[in-house]
Chains A and B, each alone.
Chain A
Amino acid sequence: MSSDPEITDFDLNAYVDGQLSFARRLEVERFLAADQEAARRVMADISARNDLRLALPVPTDEPAPKTMAYARRLQMNAVGARVARNLLRAAAAIILVLAGWLARGEMTASDVASGLTKAVAPPVLISDAVRSYHAALLRSEMHFAPTVKTVDRKDIESATHIALPNLPDNWEVKDIEVFPSDEGPSLELTLDAQDLGTVSLFAVRASDDAQIAPTAAHDGTDAIAYWQNGQVAYALVSAGEREGLLKAAQGMSADKNKN
């Protein structure tokens, strides 16, 4: 349609859409000044675009409550996903380091337990771990994730190659997250552990085969209990009392040994 070979259909559209450089815009305008038909077309397109924006305005009504809930859940869990991934790495790193110490006979399990809260544990990893646990807490308070009624162990185990320990009967699974990572998938369960409150269970495949008995640690007021069974390392984190958490960890690891 254009008599000027340099001005193309693309240019005319890009002129309408304001996607031309200043210099190109001047060239198009010079062309339009000389070509009435093209100018009419461009003005019609601009007018149609402006009217379309008025005819299909940004909604002024509120989204449905369900829409809002879904949006918030997505927004919240982007946070959870990122921080929890860090925590899983942190938990795995701590456990691998501990496993190494134990294997070399440099420390006893109780040394490790007390050491965790001292200088030996990388402070950044610990703070990541605790932040992530609080992110899970926050998510569980939002009530967006419905309680998971049944946990399909077979599905989880075949997808992640991580054996889920048997949970105490009165604990409820609130949320399950699976994260891919270079070391293989890792698993985070958010649990309603009755007296112990909200507890997170992290499980990740370790690179070394090892047996570590449940061991207690803490960071500020947050309690941690971790153990390793063969190639899978587990960590429980909660705000509850350390004794109770360690007891739960012992129960879960003992159960696992029976399997």
Chain B
Amino acid sequence: MMSVPGFNVVDQLQALRRYARSLARNESDAEDLVQQTLVQAYVKRSTFQQGGNLRAWLFGILHNAFISEWRRSVAEARRIQDSTDFRPDHQSPDQEHAVRLAQIREAFFALPEDQRAVLHLVGIEGMSYADAAATLGIPVGTLMSRLSRARAALRDFEQAPSAEGRRIAALRVIGGTDEL
């Protein structure tokens, strides 16, 4: 009675919040983005196919909300500046590893958003290529190309010997194009 089988939205909330954090790069903006997603999902809830993949459906709505509204917002520039404000709850006792996690997070946040989205869905969320491509509304070939570029950028970033080198590597990533 309380819920349609397979439509447990509350169970998806933490995954949605994590995806929103990867896109918005700021916890309070991410929370707003999730709320906006849930409102839009409410409006278009009749488009959900019964028995369909609820997480992919919600992620798709969140992604579109981010692309269509958040990206254009004037605050985006500020968010990039503030991206290092984000700190995960997880604290590693191993200082060296903690530094490494901070670095990889920094490198990840420096990726263009389309590569960030792909790497999140596939690498962090563990979605199949087909589901991730459907969520983003792109062909699998485009998905794979973005995934390769995102991984190459992370490798470059890590191989850069100094903080300055990493900054340059990150800038190169930001300037990258999305041609197949």
Contacts and interface: CB of A to CB of B under 8 A. Distances in A.
B36 to A, nearest CB: 9
A72 B155 contact: no
Interface string A6-21: 0001100110111100
Contacts, number: 137
B123 A63 contact: no
A56 B122 contact: no
A59 B48 CA distance: 26
B18 A58 contact: yes
A173 B91 CA distance: 50
A216 to B, nearest CB: 27
A52 interface: yes
Contacts of B123: 17, 48-49, 52-53
A43 B90 CA distance: 24
Interface stretch (B66-74, B77-85, B97-105, B170-178): B97-105
Contacts of B155: 41, 44-45, 48
Interface stretch (A76-84, A160-168, A190-198, A243-251): A76-84
A155 to B, nearest CB: 15
Contacts of A45: 151, 154-155
A82 B38 contact: no
Interface residues of B, number: 52
B8 interface: yes
Specify which of A57, A66, A81 lies most central, judged by the most chain B CB atoms within 10 Å of its CB.
Answer: A57
A141 B160 CA distance: 59
Contact of A71 (B38, B90, B120): B38
A63 B7 contact: no
Contacts of B38: 67, 70-71, 73-74
Nearest to B106: A55
Contacts of A10: 144
Interface in B1-26: 1-4, 7-10, 12-15, 17-18, 21-22
A75 interface: yes
Interface string B84-100: 00001110100000001
Interface string A67-99: 110111111111101100000000000000000
B44 to A, nearest CB: 10
A124 B167 CA distance: 67
B158 A48 contact: yes
B53 interface: no
The DSSP consensus for interface residues of chain B is helix
The DSSP consensus for interface residues of chain A is helix
Nearest to B140: A10
A51 interface: yes
Specify which of B42, B48, B147 lies most central, judged by the most chain A CB atoms within 10 Å of its CB.
Answer: B42
A54 interface: yes
Interface string A31-64: 0000000000100110011011111111111011
A239 B67 CA distance: 46
A57 B90 contact: yes
A180 interface: yes
A52 B119 contact: yes
Closest 6 CB pairs of A and B: A70-B38, A55-B101, A55-B105, A75-B9, A71-B9, A49-B123
Interface of B: 1-4, 7-10, 12-15, 17-18, 21-22, 31, 34-35, 38-39, 41-42, 45-46, 48, 50, 88-90, 92, 100-102, 104-105, 108, 119-120, 122-124, 126, 128-129, 144, 147-148, 151, 154-155, 158
24 contacts: A13-B144, A16-B151, A19-B128, A48-B104, A49-B123, A52-B105, A52-B108, A52-B119, A54-B88, A54-B90, A54-B92, A54-B101, A55-B102, A56-B21, A56-B22, A59-B14, A63-B13, A63-B34, A67-B35, A68-B13, A70-B38, A71-B10, A76-B2, A79-B1
Given A54-B90, A74-B9, A74-B42, 11 more contacts: A49-B124, A51-B100, A52-B123, A56-B22, A56-B88, A61-B89, A71-B9, A71-B12, A71-B13, A78-B3, A82-B4
